[in-house]
Structure 1
Amino acid sequence: MKNMYVAIVFALLCNMGFSQNSLTGTIKSADQNEPLFTVQIYFPQLEKGSVTDENGNYTINGLPQGNFKVIVAYMGYQTYSETTVISEGTNELNITLFPSAIEMEEVIVSTPFHKLQRENVMKVERASVSELKTKGAVTLSDGITNVPGVENLSTGMGIGKPVIRGLSSNRVLVYTQGVRLENQQFGDEHGLGISDAGIESVEVIKGPASLLYGSDALGGVLYLNPEKFAVAGQTEGDVNINYFTNTNGIAANAGVKSSGDRFKYLVRGSYASHADYHTGDDLSVTNTRFGEYDLKTGVAYQAVNFKTDIRYNYNQLKLGIPEEIGEQTNERTPQSPYQEINNHIVSSKSNFFFDKSSLEAILGYTFNNRKEFEEGEEGAALDMDLSTINYNIQYHLPKWGLWETIVGTQGMFQKNSNSGEEVLIPDANTTDFGIFATSHLHFKNNSDLQLGLRYDTRSITGDETGIVGEEGYIEELDNSYNSINAALGYKWEFLSNITGRINLASGFRAPNLPELTSNGVHEGTNRYEIGNQDLTNEQNIQTDVSFEYKNEHVEVFVNGFYNVVNDYIFIEPNGDNIDGNFVFVYQQQDAKLYGGEVGLHFHPHPLDWLHIESSFESVTGKLDNDNYLPLIPANSWTNTLRTEFNKGTSWLPSSYAFATLKSVFEQNNVSEFETTTPSYALFSIGLGGRIFISEQPVDIRLSGNNLFDKDYISHLSRLKVDDIGNIGRNINLGVSLPF
């Protein structure tokens, strides 16, 4: 750590002697040869950019020398993505954009080489949070179900966690502010625990990502990108208010950000409050109420060859834990049992730019306090503190011919401690260390190769807890795990409009503390769980194949995967009974998951404002004994008719409308301890746009989900065992005021 500070000071001093290189130019349209106003031009690696003036001109100052990818994005035009050389002094780059009805592409941050979606060797899904909000998402975990291949394992509306192609919990990593989100995510009633306020976009890696992220990324990664700082020389802010009829819910947030030539800052605060949700039968599901406070802030400093930012997020949640449909009220304060969760995330990201290489260092600290209160008890039954320090240091080597290479090290130190009346998992320490290298090769025939290798080690030590022979006794733990993983991917473009991808990657997951140490009744499931300290790594190999066809008016994609998981950890009864509770023990057996997604996007000429979208997704999971895995999402088919107008009247410059029918098929491929789930269909509509009131822009959104108030139960609802339905009709009204 001391050496890191010395390097930062050295970089600051060195920057005083560097010349102020700049990039300037004009951006025009190819169809009308006219300058384009307010076009964004951006260097993703430098996190620096500008916008064009009314004459299409732009200037970006304070650039380091070297080769950097530049991105130009503007609604209604193809996204420009090229590497440009920044030399000493003033550099000029004039750009012509070509019209396109396809949505703007964005840079993928969760993969290491800062490529656009179409350029990436690994297929990564991306969705902006503003887009998810137009569809009436109540929470972030609710909104991500709009991403193909992603579902939500829920307990009511306030508790949800991502499911990527049938895998969830500790098999899916969540990253926010560039660091791991660690908040006791192993628990069934432990949700995502982060507000969508101040989150700009969501990226989803669907498959093993251990090469980039180490243990627990066996099933994929949900990568949350925080909102960007303002462009240099600008100050901006906004106020956002949302109302939800079903939960009588209110969600509001406000933020402001400002950037000078070197210093930047931003701050955003949010508040949400929801009463119990109502099913399609208009029954209020008791104790699904929840409230949330959230604060996100950041400061940054940017010089020519060095930049750094520090971000902080505080999140406070108070969540009811539903058990039955009881008293019908509009109360907002949770009753017992309920959870109180406080989460602090501090992250630092620093970049050093040398002549032909660069260094990135991300440091993070997360502190999570989770308390659970039960009926009839004064203090917290569970009171767990989890503190996590993690680091990720990557060195981008000088480009060698057509090769780009990154080497790095990544690690974590985590401490879990208990101070409540009950002990669910022991006081324990977890230490991770990994080293990796990955390379990207771009061939001249419009094809790309990416490969990498990684080694990881994890050690877990836990204290002895309780009295030998009694319920709750946990023996001392001292286990170590290690794994070598690799990834190989190839992308090629042929017949001008078709892109093919094939990726082969391995991943691993070390067993978590509950799987190793459990010895007692697990509340909420009414079963006695026994851990197994002899559990070994889960290790998987997944093959992904995808094809995309795209022209100016039609997009078609086909994604398929086959995932083999060796030593898959699961829990099953052994036939014993303790104090009226069936005994469940953790076991291991090989498993496999397979399926994929197919989609179509059609916008006919000359009706470029009209969009017809259709997608189908499927996943099947089985153990080696041919039994089905639990909590596998049902097959679904989603069809959307959407309109977009970006050149409206002076008082309504942009608007949209959509109608969506999501058909979920019967899930009869269930484990021995599940019941089948009937099919259902949900109809949703929405509309919105930007209007001007006395020269003040106002964004308005109106959406209705489950418009016909269908009474249904999702196969991934943990309330299914109690025959409690999911949320019924929900109308959302949202208003945003930018200033």
Structure 2
Amino acid sequence: MKHIFSVLLLLAIPSIYAQNTLTGSVSDKNTNEPLIFANIYLPQLEKGATTDGQGNYAFNNIPKGTYSIIVSIIGYETLSQNISFPYANSLDFKLIPSAIEMEEIIISTPFHKLQSENVMMVERETIANLKAKGAVTLADGITSIPGVESVTTGVSIGKPVIRGLSSNRVLVYTQGVRLENQQFGDEHGLGLSDSGIESVEVIKGPASLLYGSDALGGVLYLNPEKFARANTNGADASYNYFSSTRGYNTNAGYKASGEHFKFLFRGSLAEHADYNTAEYRVTNSRFREQDLKAGLGYQLSNFKTELRYNVNNSKLGIPEELGVQNTNNTPLLPFQEVTNHVLSSKSTVFLNNSSFEINFGLLYNDRKEFEEHHDDHGDDDHDDEEYDDDPEAHEDEALEAALHMKLKTFNYDVKYNLPTLGKFETIVGVQGMTQSNANYGEEQLIPDAITNDFGFLATSHIHFENSDIQIGARYDHRNIDVISGLNKTFSSFNGAVGIKTNLAKNITSRLNLASGYRAPNLAELTSDGTHEGTNRYEIGNENLKNEQNFQADLALEFKNEHVEIFVNAFYNKVNNYIFISPSGALIDDTPVFNYLQSNANLYGGELGLHFHPHPLDWLHIESSFETVTGKQENDSYLPLIPSNSLSNTLRVEFNTKAIQKLYAFVRLNTNFKQSNVSDFETPTNGYNLLGAGFGGTVNLFKNNLDIRISGSNLTDKTYINHLSRLKSDGIFNMGRNINVGLTYTL
């Protein structure tokens, strides 16, 4: 791989000095008035500019080739077009006024286009919007995205669920590389902080073509914050308080960019006590999280690269039963301590009309799980009360982890963007990883093993006058070598085809057909022990086959200046679906669960309405409904399928002299009764949750201060979500929670 990288750099050297410039202006199409502070962005080059007081902009050091250029400003339709360089003339843009919110570039799909240009439907939400709704954690925030839910253990631990599929069926990407964090466990969270993350993108459906195994159900793609624009710098700090947990999270960051070099760093700390319900605090739902992110970038005309590093350390209490009632922050036994390191490198070499993208990732996940009676002194007399009374008890007693696993992963992703040939944009690439799992604790759930992946892909985007087609194919190979002697090989060939077309002036349709696959993970193949986090003895099945699925996805969207309506429907057939089922036996008084396979079908969809009547552009009425049903071939229902839900929001937005971006909202979320349950689940009652909030930006000492105040579950309703792992103990989800957030930008 080193030699390939050197060759690419040598290829780029002859054209490094073939620099191009682009200048022009941005104005209102109707009035010809110049637009100040309009954003002009070249996504492939990650170059941005802002118009000055006369509406003018300028770019330098643009390599030869064809690139997308995106022009946007609040109150106008986002404009996108392709420009070939060298470009001899100035380029002026005229934008059309519109109440429709600005579009953003979708990074998780290969061609980095606006959503309106994408063949594949992708949901996108900014972290700022999730925080404005009062989200306590990243896993909590993503549940406001249609089609996305979370399997939760209290507040601190959440696993994304996309249209009924979760765990290793949903792939998480951070800093441009796939996250490896022992995802097989229901009680294993993301191990990521929302600090330093700009936005979240969700691919709902098979994405194996783009990402390989484990993307059978979809992808959660986390976009890190951008570097500062050339020759600028900035700093900010924020503080958030949450009443239910008597907790807070705070972060601060600084970034600066010159003409070629750029850097950023951000640190954050979060501490929360046990969350409150209307009747009690949930014992040991407390947690503490520390997070540090840093980035370094370098850019020339024909070459750009960035190196990012993230370390996240979390101490997470595991709720089991109600007990001590206080607001201390130190977790009781049992608890997890997880340290996650992510080092990523992302580089692009621009050739004549083509480019190479080269991404590498080094990940190190250190997971420790502590239980009672596992300290160095062999003292069996410790109880929750002692640890709670002495916040330093864990350190003083030098606890030894009962379960201690280290997962080390190196992954790579190399893509070649071929020169555009007429209507065809084409990408070919290779992806893969090598991964080792090692045990250091006195208990062992999964054995030491080495996993190797390799995949090859090719995909094309074909442009026609009124429609776009995307096609692709991929081959993957995975080998799992268990130190105890088991050696398993899995392979799969997958493909995808999609079409986007305009059925009428304001109606867009998307039809995507795709296959995906997932190789069994180590836990499913080799488990033989008590999984403490789930209170069951798990026995793996070394004869498991690939999960293989095929999904049809149809999306319709109507949009004009007054209203937006979307309807998404999907049908997902999964062959050899892997699930865990109780055998009825006991080992050491712990129920035994076996891993089995059966064909399954999932179907459902989402529909939504966004009404913003012109000229009342400040008023927004939003409504969305989502449903999913999952069944085995024998008509038994699949476990952990979210209930149907309905969300209704009334939102207003203003700009005043005193407060910019002033907003307020009232939201009612309805979760319907879930009666379609698996053999070892029980039905879950429906409930309604009322939320509200307001915020805005004021000028303080010549800088911006963002203020956010929101409340969730304002009626203090006692309820249990169907995907809560505490449901079997009858423990309620969070009660009323008031969030106050402040962000000061320098």
Answer whether contact 1:509 1:539 (CA < 8 A) is retained: yes
Give TM-score scaled by structure 2 length: 0.95
- Picking from 361, 369, 372, the partner of 2:369 is 372
Aligned to 1:217: 215
Report the residue type matching 1:632 in the other structure: I
Name stretches of at least 5 consecutive residues in structure 1 with no aligned partner: 465-475
Report the CA distance between 1:127 and its aligned residue.
0.3
Partner of 1:46: 45
Deviation at 1:210, TM superposition (A): 0.2
Could you tell me which amino acid in structure 2 is paired with residue 502 of structure 1? L
Which position in structure 2 is the counterpart of 1:119? Answer: 117
Give 2:357's aligned amino acid.
Answer: E
1:332 aligns with 2:329: yes
SS of the equivalent of 1:3 reads helix
Aligned residues of 2:19 and 2:64 also touching (Cα < 8 A): no
In the TM superposition, what is the alpha-carbon distance from 1:524 to its structure 2 partner? 3.7
Give, in whole Å, the separation in 1 of the partners of 2:20 and 2:421: 24
Contact 2:106 2:201 in 1 (8 A): yes
Matched, 1:510 2:519: yes
Distance between the aligned counterparts of 1:620 and 1:653, measured in 2? 43
Which residue of structure 2 aligns with residue 454 of structure 1? 474
User: Which residue number in structure 2 is paired with residue 579 of structure 1?
Assistant: 588
Alpha-carbon deviation of 1:55?
1.0
**What is the distance in 2 between the residues matched to 1:200 and 1:621?**
33
* Aligned residue type for 1:505: A
TM-score by length of structure 1 reads 0.96
Identical counterparts, % of pairs: 60
Q: Is the CA contact (8 Å cut-off) linking 1:153 and 1:716 kept in structure 2? A: yes
Mark the CA change 1:260 to 1:667 in structure 2 (over 3 Å): closer, same or farther.
Answer: same
Do 1:22 and 1:91's aligned partners in 2 also have CA atoms closer than 8 Å? no
d(CA) in 2 for partners of 1:553, 1:736: 32
Deviation, 1:9, is: 4.7
Amino acid at match of 1:730: N
Which runs of structure 2 are paired with 1:145-160 in the superposition (5 Å)? 145-160=143-158
Instruction: Give the aligned partner of residue 385 of structure 2.
Output: none
In structure 2, C-alpha distance between the alignment counterparts of 1:678 and 1:738, rounded to whole Å: 44
Q: Distance in 2 between matches of 1:169 and 1:586?
A: 14
CA contact (8 A) 1:252 1:272 kept: yes
Structure 1 position 233, deviation (Å)? 1.1
Measured at CA, do residues 442 and 13 of structure 1 come closer, stay the same or move farther in structure 2, by a change above 3 Å? closer
**Per-residue deviation, 1:528:** 2.2
What is aligned with 1:413? 434
Which letter maps to 1:552?
E
SS state at 2:6 partner: helix
Letter in 1 for 2:359: I
Aligned to 2:499: 490
Are the counterparts in 1 of residues 157 and 189 from structure 2 also a CA contact under 8 Å?
yes
Q: Which amino acid aligns with 2:301?
A: V
* 1:158 to partner: Cα distance: 0.3
CA distance in 2, matches of 1:430, 1:451: 29
Correspondence for 1:653? 660
Quick one: which amino acid aligns to residue 312 of structure 1? Y
The residue that corresponds to 1:471 in the other structure is none
Determine if the alignment matches structure 1 residue 422 to structure 2 residue 431: no
Aligned 1:549-698 pairs, distance under 5 A: 549-645=558-654, 647-649=655-657, 651-698=658-705
Q: How many angstroms does 1:709 deviate by?
A: 0.6
Task: Give aligned pairs, total.
Answer: 722
The answer (yes or no) to whether the contact 1:345–1:364 under 8 Å persists in 2 is yes
Amino acid paired to 1:94:
D
Contact 2:18 2:64 in 1 (8 A): no
Using the TM superposition, give the Cα deviation of residue 8 of structure 1 relative to its aligned residue in structure 2, in angstroms: 5.9
> What amino acid maps onto 2:407 in structure 1?
L
**Partner SS, residue 210 of structure 2:** helix
348, 351, 368: which one pairs with 1:351?
Answer: 348
Query: Do the aligned partners of 1:174 and 1:180 also contact (CA within 8 Å) in 2?
Result: yes
Deviations 1:329-357 (A, max 9, x none): 11100011111111110111110111111
Whether the 8 Å CA contact 1:714–1:726 is kept in 2: the answer is yes
Secondary structure of the structure 2 residue equivalent to 1:721: helix
Aligned residue among 408, 421, 445 for 1:387: 408
Give 1:206's aligned residue. 204
SS at structure 2 position matched to 1:167: coil
2-structure distance, mates of 1:9, 1:545: 43
* Structure 1 residue matching 2:33: 3-state secondary structure: coil
SS in 1 for 2:209: helix
Give the drift of 1:5: 4.5
Match in the other structure for 1:175: 173
Q: CA deviation at 1:697?
A: 1.6
Distance of 2:229 and 2:15 partners within structure 1: 21
Structure 2: gaps of 5 or more residues: 376-399
Displacement of 1:102 in angstroms is 1.2
Deviations along 1:673-695, whole A, 9 cap, x unmatched? Answer: 00100010000001000111232
Map Cα deviations across residues 575-617 of structure 1 (whole Å, 9 max, x no partner): 3333333322111100000000010000112111000000000
Q: Output one character per residue of 1:156-191: Cα deviation in whole Å (capped at 9) or x when no partner.
A: 000001000000010000000000110101112100
> Residue 107 of structure 1 corresponds to which residue in structure 2?
105
Please say if residues 568 and 605 of structure 2, whose CA atoms lie closer than 8 Å, have aligned partners that are also in contact: yes
Q: Secondary structure at the match of 2:741?
A: strand
CA contact (8 A) 1:558 1:598 kept: yes
The Cα offsets for residues 302-353 of structure 1, whole Å up to 9 and x where unpaired, read as: 1111111110011111100110111101110001111111111011111011
Amino acid of the residue matched to residue 2 of structure 2?
K
**CA distance in 1 between partners of 2:202 and 2:704 (Å):** 32
CA contact (8 A) 2:159 2:186 kept: no
Aligned alpha-carbon RMSD (Å):
1.2
Q: Is the 8 A contact 2:12 2:350 kept in 1?
A: no
CA separation in 2, counterparts of 1:315 and 1:582?
34
Q: How far does residue 97 in structure 1 lie from its aligned partner after superposition?
A: 1.1
State how far apart, in whole Å, the 2-side matches of 1:490 and 1:12 are.
35
Post-superposition Cα deviations, 1:438-477, rounded to whole Å, max 9, x if no partner, equal 0110112x2011110100000001122xxxxxxxxxxx31
Letter in 2 for 1:112: P
Equivalent pair of 1:280/1:725 in contact (CA under 8 Å): no
